[in-house]
Amino acid sequence: MVKLMTGLINTMTSENTSNMITEYANKRQEAKDKAKEKKANNTKESITHYQLLAVQCGAEETSVEYFMATQLFADEANRVIFQNISSDEARLTWLKRWCMMKKLY
């Protein structure tokens, strides 16, 4: 009887542990998925904001400068640099220099 009870307790403990591990893994994956989705949304909003800044500085949506901006803004460092430029004129000049460097003119 003792062996039977010990076996039953071990089986129950093993199942509970397995369930707990599975539950923990699922919760952890959900948290990772939410963080990834949040980051993607933040990036999308950020790029949209910088596209508007590009238009504001004079890069029309049909222009080569705007196209260059869309390529540059995929990189967060370029978005930060663009934001830190103090005037619209200087921002447009920065985009034009990139266009010249990439031989788009």
Per-residue pLDDT tens digits for 8-55:
666 666 666 777 778 878 888 998 888 889 888 888 899 999 999 999
Using CA atoms, how far apart are residues 29 and 61, in angstroms rounded to an integer? Answer: 39
Average pLDDT, whole number, for the chain? 89
Nearest to 92 by CA among 43, 45, 72: 72
Residues sharing a CB contact under 8 Å with residue 104, sequence separation 6 or more, in sequence order? 64, 67, 68
Domain boundaries, given as residue ranges, for the chain: 2-101
The number of C-alpha atoms within 13 Å of 87 and in the hemisphere containing its C-beta is: 3
- In contact, 95 and 68? CB cutoff 8 Å: yes
DSSP code for 74: T
